[in-house]
Amino acid sequence: MIAGRPASALYRPQGPLPPFLDCNMGGPRSRTRTQGIRSRLLGRPDGHLRCPSLLRLGLDFRNADPLQSVERLLAESGFRHREAAQEALLPDLPRRLCVQTPGIVPLQAFRADPREVLRQALMLGHCTAWLYDPARPLIWTRASLLRRVEIFNEEGFYA
């Protein structure tokens, strides 16, 4: 105690604290807390780091096997092999960042235009969880065909 007041009262201003002073927990480790921060740079069309969303990809095959469904669509669409379908259907898009986004509403493969389903399947075959790369070998797996990704244009990102 100093002058009849507790020591902590000497450092505490009277009245309400400014908002920025409430953020400092101070004190021993036992009184600390953590708070998650959720934010992302991707999907923002403005600011210094512009990364607008270009495409959202996702397919829903209901209970059908994705690999068999895509191979069947390939044959029914008149393509002899995957490379012919790539030449006809893949957009002229360079390597781009992508992020798995579970909230994407998938295209219903059994109802949609077969060429659109094949286009998305081809693009998903060139995607990893973080990158769309058309120069990467086309890999169709159940996991890649059921993945839901959002592709971004990192036009304003300079590192």
When divided into structural domains, the chain yields a total of 1
In the structure, what pLDDT confidence band is assigned to residue 35 with cuts at 50, 70 and 90?
confident
For residue 9, being part of any structural domain is answered with no
Has residue 48 been placed in a domain? no
pTM of the model: 0.71
Task: For residue 63, tell me if it sits in a domain.
Answer: yes
**Quick check: is 74 in a domain?**
yes
- Residue 33 belongs to a domain: no
Is the pLDDT at 158 greater than 60? The verdict is no
Element (H, E) at 150: strand 149-152
Helix axes 114-125, 82-89, angle to 10 degrees: 100
Q: Which domain holds residue 93?
A: 53-152
**Within a domain: residue 23?**
no
Residues 92-149 have pLDDT tens digits of: 889 999 999 888 999 999 999 999 999 999 999 999 989 999 999 999 999 999 999 9
Look at the alpha carbons of 85, 89, 91, 96 in this order and tell me if their dihedral is positive or negative.
Answer: negative
25 located within any domain: no
